[in-house]
Amino acid sequence: MINEKFLRLLSKDYPNRKKAIAEIINLRAILALPKGTEYFLSDIHGEHEAFVHMVKSASGVIRSKIEEVFSEELPLEERDRLAALIYNPKAEIKRVKKSDADYDQWCRESIFHLIQILKSVSTKYTRSKVRKRMPEDMDYIMDELLHADDEANRADYYGEIINALIETGNATEFIMGMAGTISRLAVDQLHIIGDIFDRGAHPDKIMDFLMDFHDVDFQWGNHDIVWMGAATGNWACITNAIRMNVSYNNFDMLETGYGINLRPLAVFANDTYRDDSCEGFKPHIYDRNQYDPISEELAAKMHKAIAICQFKVEGQRIKAHPEYGMEHRLLLDKINMEKGTVVINGTEYPLKDKNLPTLDVNDPYKLSDEERLLLNTLEASFLKSEKLQKHIRFLYSHGSMYKIVNDILLYHGCIPLTEEGEFEECTVNGVTTKGKAYLDYLDDQVRKAYFSPAESEEIGRSGDLMWYLWLSKKSPLFGKDKMTTFERCFVDDKSVKKENNVSYYRLIDRKDICENILKEFGLDPLTAHILNGHMPVKVKDGGSPVRGQGLLFVIDGGMSKAYQKDTGIAGYTFIYNSRFMALAEHKPYSPLMADGSQEFNAPALRTVEVLKKRMMVRDTDIGKELIRQVEELQALVDYYDKGIIKER
């Protein structure tokens, strides 16, 4: 029963019977439309250009629309150029202007072709929703072109509008607006299943893009959570975030993108390791810095300096949190400086780098005065970075440890399981939970650590929990037995660098395990599925993203350039529309050429499930909410009819 107080509040938005009924009609019409297309991606890892291309191309769906509409009308080369225009309008327009083409005529033809594609991708939506996806200052003209269906007058009507756009100098902007509208309509909802940050050059630009996207949510990954911890000022998280990105040469993102002041680190590293080549700390270079080029020599010194700070700070956090069970990372006190060795798991290994001038053998986890001053400065940069804090707050407001949407359970890494496949009990802050309750508890505590640390149950420095989730064996965001950072930096023996997957990744081949996970989260295994990322699928070695006899899909295909030599591909998109679920397997992204051209490799699309009947909006989670709104509005109409609430 809907109470009168609520209906009186509702009447402020719908002050009379006519307005309430108009909204009921609108909502019922929406409920009768086909479900919009949802896109699921994971492990973007800063690959801004490749990610934006995936979204703007709708993972090949837009190209298929072009084929449907123009396969008989346009030659292949022109269809390719139309696709390029939608994917990257700025680059394609620049290319055309440099060519010998008649630009005004090209604009006329392009607008006409784009309108046809816009019609094709807008059929699932109400006219009002389509207009909302259009640029505000162009929506009227686009809407007119889109719905000018009078065959007798359409050619003249189109022609006059297009001529006016060209003569007023607005054709270029209009074309770019249309291309963007097509992409926005092709992807109704976007779900990011973790790891926007690290490795790739520009997670900052990815976050800017997503903050401008119409409907997006996140399931946090371990690379996201360490940045969320760094945004609290936590030194363990800060040193990890900086070390990772210095090691991948991401100085533009750190200093120009987020305004993190790295000069103190550069000065400290250069002074401390002046005569040290720091050969083992040379950065991986996949992208060049445009605004903040740092020499490889200085980057290596900075990498080594921040790594030592990280190992010291982590040692302090491990001792403060024995419940984290990460004593295996306490290796600075296992170093024998005289012998130049370190003991790992009871075995002595030679250090490949023995120059450790800031290490106090009597108190190896103590920061020097210079290191402490450096970390204080870095902490201030993270806390005062307006852009970083804005991005992190967006991750909180639109993100969570997991999400259930339209019978799909989304989480980044894993659900901790015992070797026997039972939900593993995990203790954090003295609280022991497992399964869904564990993820719910972590979600609550991560939010409190950032927004209200005084209300959290966290023991130690605020943000320690995020560091735990970054690399703990029992973290649902990590899923390995250990992270061998020190070993990779200081030991040549490959055996100590191995990071083993937890039992979850072996057990999810079993259908019954996937069924139990779905049941734990209140889902029916007969209709529901699981999506997670985190572990790159090594397709070239025969790996498959489909697990648990089709109940679970691992969609980390290796978008990061650093992974592509191992995976053989460049990421997956999981596509869920009104008729089917499919996996799009992407090839490596081809950057823009000097002449303005660009090669676009169509992804391989594989349908993994065909729906028994077409899914309508009424069948979705959004539909359930709209049905509730219709019921509330109908109750309001009844109160108007009975005179209980007066119309205005």
pLDDT digits (tens, 9 = 90+) for 345-381: 999 999 999 999 999 999 999 999 999 999 999 999 9
Does residue 25 share a domain with residue 58?
no
* Residue at 502 is within a domain: no
On the question of pLDDT at 39 being above 70, the answer is yes
Angle at Cα 164 formed by Cα 163 and Cα 166, nearest 5°? 65
pLDDT of res. 465: 96
SS3 string, 94-151, reads HHHHHCCCCHHHHHHHHHHHHHHHHHHHCCCCCHHHHHHCCCCCCHHHHHHHHCCCCH
Reported as type and span, the H/E element at residue 428 is strand 426-428
Average pLDDT over residues 371-400: 97
* pLDDT tens figures, 534-593: 888 888 788 889 999 999 999 987 788 877 777 776 788 999 999 999 999 888 887 777
Residue 537 counted as domain residue: yes
My answer on whether 61 and 177 are in the same domain is yes
Is residue 153 very low, low, confident or very high in pLDDT (cuts 50, 70, 90)? low
Q: Is the pLDDT of residue 609 over 90?
A: yes
The DSSP code for 34 is B
- Three-state SS at 551: coil
291 shares a domain with 169: no
433 in a structural domain:
no
Dist. CA 446–CA 458, nearest whole Å: 9
pLDDT band at 514 (very low <50, low <70, confident <90, very high): very high
The answer to whether residues 332 and 259 belong to one domain is: yes
Structural domain containing residue 594: 38-193+533-615
pTM: 0.93
Looking at the fold, whether 88 and 186 belong to one and the same domain comes out as: yes
Average pLDDT estimate for 512-534: 96
User: For the ranges 60-69, 105-114, 147-156, which has the lowest average pLDDT?
Assistant: 147-156
**Predicted confidence (pLDDT) at residue 151 exceeds the cutoff of 60:** no
Number of independent structural domains in the chain: 3
Final residue belonging to a domain, choices 368, 384, 400: 384
Q: Are residues 65 and 98 located together in one domain of the fold?
A: yes
For 161-208, the pLDDT digits (tens) are 888 888 999 999 999 999 999 999 999 999 999 999 998 899 999 999
In this structure, the answer to whether residues 22 and 136 fall within a common structural domain is: no
Residue 324 lies in a domain: yes
Sign for the pseudo-dihedral over CA of 182, 184, 185, 191 = positive
As a whole number of angstroms, the distance between CA 272 and CA 504 comes to 43
Boundary of a domain, candidates 337, 366, 384: 384
Does 601 share its domain with 636?
Answer: no
Question: Which pLDDT score, from 0 to 100, does residue 155 have?
Answer: 67
Q: Do both 268 and 189 map to the same domain? A: no
- Domain contains 491: no
Q: Is residue 138 part of a domain?
A: yes
| Structure token pair of residue 300 | 């290596």
Q: Is residue 16 part of a domain?
A: yes
Domain boundary among 365, 384, 403: 384
Q: Which residues contact 451 (CB under 8 A, 6 or more apart)?
A: 396
* Residue 483 covered by a domain: no
Please indicate, yes or no, whether residues 557 and 634 belong to a single structural domain of this protein.
Answer: no
Q: Which residues contact 197 (CB under 8 A, 6 or more apart)?
A: 45, 46, 203, 223, 224, 226, 227, 241
Percent of the residues in the chain that have a pLDDT greater than 90, as a whole number: 77
Nearest to 545 by CA among 561, 527, 569: 569
* Structure confidence at residue 291 as a pLDDT band (50, 70, 90): confident
Q: Are 139 and 233 in the same domain?
A: no
- What pLDDT score does 48 carry? 93
Task: Tell whether 25 and 85 lie within a shared domain.
Answer: no
